[in-house]
Structure 1
Amino acid sequence: MALVHNIIIRGWNSMFLQARKLKNADVPDFLNYCQAWYWFVVGHHDSEEAVLFPASRRQRVLRVLWMRMSKTAFHHGLAEMKSYIETGLATPSKYDGDEFVKIFDSFAEAFHSHLTNEPLKLVSLASYNFDMETTRDATTQHALQRYSTTDVLPILWYNLDTKYEGGIWEDFPPLPAPVKWGMVNVMGWWRSNWWCFSSCSSSLVEREELYCLRKEY
């Protein structure tokens, strides 16, 4: 879960840092990238609800922990972000980087708190004899099957730094190498004009500079 949260945070940072730097011609592609990030976050949440918090005798314990994480604190901000993206895609000339950044700022603190605290809360489930490894893998697989392989899933690949922490997570997510290669290099190519705004390259390492922050941009 912490790895997925890192991906989400890298995506957030890439959007926030480039939102005010866009050329008008790049607004639709950038907003499609942002929309993909939004649906990635929603899919991650839904997979947690479907797998991590199953209808079992442990449900009450898990849901108590979940409520303590105050997930609803940032739902309004995400909804506002979704609405702004949809408006901008319908009428790109209405896009305003300053206004978009204000939306990020409106729920940044609550969202960051959730992303950093949730893994720590879940670690405490060890005291309940909870099989976190199996559940983690099942949650990941549920999410991978839910996402569009061309329009949403590349958010994962293009914000996944496989060199993070010395490369110890290089095999995440647990997929056969040929499948992963195809998802990154074939499915990712289809919307490459979106993923150019991401924090990582198709080599799955962090970019030296974000697309809109390059000197030649």
Structure 2
Amino acid sequence: MSESSSLETGPFTLITVPTIPQEKKDEIAEVFYWDMSCVHNCLIRGMNSVWLTAPHVKPKDQASFLGYCITLIETIHMHHHGEEVTVFPALAKQLNMEHNLEQHESFQGAMDEFEKYIKDVQAKKEKYDGQRTRDLLKAFSDPLVQHLHDEILTIAPEQLLKVDQADLDAMMAGMAKHIKEASLFTTFPFVLSHHNFSEIPEWPPAPAPLMWFARNISYRRYSNYWKFSPWNNKGRLQSYVQTVAA
């Protein structure tokens, strides 16, 4: 199996992104379902990348890899915070979101352990160990990936159509505000370098100037992190593992 296909197929399985019918391109129920599927796949690809890369990181690249791992965790935290303060409260008026919240709690402790270990290695309190990194990653990623798949079912169009339009509008406005709080120098380059533009070129639905800035300016500040991403800032496939093995 090639490195690029591994990032797409495992160890953590991607979500099948739905196609929005042309006549429903402006419907929140369809767009939100599609958008969240793409976001979730970026997170899953990040976990796949850490898993595949962890045993192969060269000493000179360890600091960059640790920064990449922390960015993954920060992106997951930001995504879930947005859901908990904006999405779940809006949908809970008509839908049961309790299971989603329970799942968030189920992997939080293990994710904290992974984050603590990475930060301890950064602080020279621990030595880097690729297998330990994998073990700590898998402890939270198994339930997290299951949650990412399960959650998509709870926000499928047929579910969202049960929600009042005013609540959906408020949810989308809240998410738009939340997205503006994302770091231009970590979160945005992370997302862009973990999305398959060859398959879905129209995502994310961001203004062209912002996309240009993220690709050409933001990307450069921590460009050493993004060598571990599946794609570079031009949307070309890359593989750190294949590079160091060459």
Q: So what's the TM-score if we normalise by structure 2?
A: 0.76
Instruction: For 2:162, give the aligned amino acid.
Output: Y
Aligned residues: 209
Q: How does 1:103-142 map to 2 (within 5 A)?
A: 103-123=136-156, 124-131=158-165, 134=169, 137-138=172-173, 140-142=175-177
Pick one of 187, 191, 194 that aligns with 1:156: 191
Alpha-carbon spacing, 1:100–1:216, altered in 2? closer, same or farther (3 Å): closer
Q: Which has the higher contact order (CA 8 A, sep 6+)?
A: 1
Residues 227, 240 of structure 2: 8 Å contact kept: yes
Alignment of 1:54-93 (within 5 A): 54=89, 58-59=92-93, 61-67=95-101, 70-91=103-124
Partner of 2:240 in structure 1?
211
| Match of residue 183 from structure 1 | 214
Structure 1 stretches of 4+ moved >4 Å: 130-137
The answer on 1:101 being equivalent to 2:134 is yes
Query: 1:48 & 1:23 partners in 2: Cα distance?
Result: 36
Equivalent residue number for residue 6 of structure 1:
41
Flag structure 1 segments of 5+ consecutive residues without an equivalent. none
> Cα distance 1:95–1:73, how it changes in 2: closer, same or farther (>3 A)?
same
Q: Return the alpha-carbon distance in structure 2 between the equivalents of residues 127 and 196 of structure 1.
A: 41
- Partners of 2:94 and 2:163 within 8 A in 1: no
Segments of structure 2 that go 5 or more residues without pairing to the other structure are: 1-35
CA pair 160-134 structure 1, distance change in 2 beyond 3 A: farther
Give the corresponding residue for 2:86: 51
Assess, with a 3 A threshold, how the Cα gap between structure 1 residues 96 and 216 changes in structure 2: closer, same or farther.
Answer: closer
Whole-angstrom distance in 1 between the partners of 2:123 and 2:233 = 29
- Give percent identity, aligned residues only: 25
AA matched with 1:94: K
1:141 is displaced (CA, Å) by: 2.4
In structure 2, C-alpha distance between the alignment counterparts of 1:47 and 1:75, rounded to whole Å:
16
Q: Which amino acid aligns with 2:239?
A: L
Q: What amino acid is the match of 2:77?
A: V
Taking the aligned partners of 1:188 and 1:12, their CA distance within structure 2 comes to: 20
Cα RMSD between the aligned structures?
2.5
Shift of 1:127: 4.8
Q: What whole-Å deviation, never above 9, does each CA across 1:47-82 have from its counterpart, x for those lacking one?
A: 11122123x694473433524x62222111110111
Amino acid corresponding to residue 124 of structure 2 in structure 1: T
Q: Give the Cα separation in 1 of the matches to 2:91 and 2:212.
A: 39
